[in-house]
Amino acid sequence: MNRLLAVLFLQAFLLFQIPCPAGAAPDGPTLRALIVTCDRFLSQEETTPAAQENARLMAEMLKRDARGYADIRTECDSIGTVDAFFSAARETFSGVDEDDISLIYISTHGVYNPSRSNLTAELLLSDGQTEEGVTPQTLEAVLAEIPGTHVLLVDACHSGAFIGKGLSDRPDAATLGADSKILCSAGGSEDSWYWRSGDSGTLHGAGYFTSILTRGCDPAAGFPADSDADGTVTLREAFLWLRGHYAVSTAQVYPERDDGFALFACGEADQPRGLTDIEFEETVFAGRTDRLYFSFELGSPMSIAYQLVYLRRGTWDFPNAAQVAEPEILQPGHYERALTLHLADEDEDVSGYLMVQIFSLDGERPLLHESRLISVLPLSGDIALSVECPAAFRQGMGLEMPVTVRHDIPCVLTAAIQNIRGETVRYLAYEQQSRPQHLVPEGTCLYWDGLLSDGTPAPAGYYLVRVQTEIGGDLYQAYSPLFRLMSEDSKG
């Protein structure tokens, strides 16, 4: 279920509606959106008004899209059955054609229990009086009724299980086609998070995933998710933005490397007036360190606060987070800061993960600007490195082969697909910082779409995965068994 975390901010929360619909662009596809959020449940704890705040942030982001949405329909705590969900989708996307783009955003509790025999994930729909679960097959059936391109954004615990990602097991996931574009807030083994005041118990924030995603498409921040500054945030850019600036869980995407689909059209950027250009000197440390250096720019006066959260025994330790606020309002300009890390005694292993969160406290609501993952590598030790993948993988539009790299300590990974001559044909990760994905045993999930580095299909045949990392100057390598890559039309 969605867990609620405690922070020290006690700002008042005011909910207001976003007017819609927006005008659609005269040329190009027609865009429509259905936003479904649930805060009141029968089987889980209430999250009011966090999901409603998610709806507000998402509607604001979609209204900023330069292409224009013909309709943005918002359903907050009003859909409690699968039939009602089908009806809302049919009404919202009535009349769409193959050239159109239809977006569904869902914020709710996600439930996934790998001990159940059918390994089926569910997103709970609830209006406070009725409650039903949406399975991957239900979502598949909803999307099948809608022509054109489907965009699905899900802010829920275990949401990656819906696309079979971020899991040690192989769940009952949806069957997805090339016309589906999906971003999830967490791997199938992970929780998603909201935040609230520990003193009053009143929720003040949206989901971290939604906060960071919408900030990446904010003109006041200069559309930072648009990494190549070409005026569009592609699905791939949004995913990489989340992976870099959203630390509490591991965002998942389908297709894995789609850099051609525009998730958001930027339009004109505002004069930066918020907190921008956040840069960390390092996010990976080898051995003991006690200072974390970073910098940022301010475009307007702002109250700023920081929070350090440590991963302890496999759980983010929010109740014991280290918190510090700037002693006075900061004026516009460039700032350099250092935070002191709280590490173990000298004779103890200090390797592990933590995250740095940066909030502004101005205005009606505190705003999360950054959630950066920090890794502290051990000075020595056996990483227990291994790699797993299926014995065979059939190429096909949108299909992806899961690769699971096992490692029981933080590391920096390089993973490559190699042919039987030992030649690297594609990197799945190159000096990539690992992150806690809450697998059993722990590790990193990667995915291969059967394409070479140049984007063309790899020839059918036998391949393997080679992974390597370095700990304390020692190189560790592991190889998967050979697997067979079959062409889309091959048999057997």
CATH number, domain containing residue 120: 3.40.50.1460
Q: Between β-strands 252-254 and 69-76, what pairing exists: parallel, antiparallel or unpaired?
A: unpaired
Q: Between β-strands 232-234 and 262-265, what pairing exists: parallel, antiparallel or unpaired?
A: antiparallel
3-state DSSP: the chain helix, strand, coil percent, rounded to 5? 15, 40, 50
From 218, 246, 265, the end of a domain falls on 265
Q: Which two tokens stand for residue 363?
A: 């205005």
Count up the domains in the chain and report the number: 3
Bridge partners of 402, per DSSP, are 447
Average pLDDT of the chain is 86
Cβ contact 243:268 at 8 Å: no
| 9 within a domain of the structure (yes/no) | yes
Per-residue confidence band for 124, with pLDDT thresholds at 50, 70 and 90: very high
Residues 252 and 135 grouped into a single domain: yes
Residues 191 and 299 grouped into a single domain: no
| 331 within a domain of the structure (yes/no) | yes
| 270 within a domain of the structure (yes/no) | no
Q: Please tell me the least confidently modeled range out of 147-151, 195-199, 299-303, 338-342.
A: 195-199
pLDDT of 55: 96
From 377, 410, 444, the end of a domain falls on 377
pLDDT of 108: 96
Residues 351 and 456 grouped into a single domain: no
Residues 122 and 252 grouped into a single domain: yes
Alpha-carbon distances of 242 from 191, 251, 383, rounded to whole Å: 16, 6, 27
Got the DSSP string for 346-361?
TTS---EEEEEEEEE-
- The structure's pTM equals 0.90
| Spatial separation of the C-alpha atoms in residues 319 and 4, rounded to whole Å | 11
Per-residue confidence band for 211, with pLDDT thresholds at 50, 70 and 90: very high
Residue 117 clears pLDDT 90, i.e. is over it: no
| Spatial separation of the C-alpha atoms in residues 158 and 148, rounded to whole Å | 27
Residues 127 and 108 grouped into a single domain: yes
Residues 185 and 110 grouped into a single domain: yes
Q: What is the mean pLDDT of residues 157-167?
A: 90
Cβ contact 79:104 at 8 Å: no
Which CATH number do you get for residue 319?
Answer: 2.60.40.2550
Residues 77 and 28 grouped into a single domain: yes
Per-residue confidence band for 109, with pLDDT thresholds at 50, 70 and 90: very high
From 215, 241, 265, the end of a domain falls on 265
Residues 241 and 280 grouped into a single domain: no
Residues 101 and 228 grouped into a single domain: yes
Burial of 421 (0-12, 13-18, 19+ CB in 10 A): exposed
Residues 370 and 391 grouped into a single domain: no
| 491 within a domain of the structure (yes/no) | no
Residues 63 and 205 grouped into a single domain: yes
User: For residue 29, what are the domain limits?
Assistant: 3-265
The values of phi and psi at residue 174, to 5°, are -70, 150
pLDDT tens-digit readout, 47-94: 888 899 999 999 999 999 999 999 999 999 999 999 999 999 999 999
| 339 within a domain of the structure (yes/no) | yes
pLDDT of 48: 83
| Spatial separation of the C-alpha atoms in residues 209 and 213, rounded to whole Å | 6
Residues 189 and 295 grouped into a single domain: no
How many CB atoms neighbour CB 266 within 10 A?
21
Q: Which amino acid is at 414?
A: T
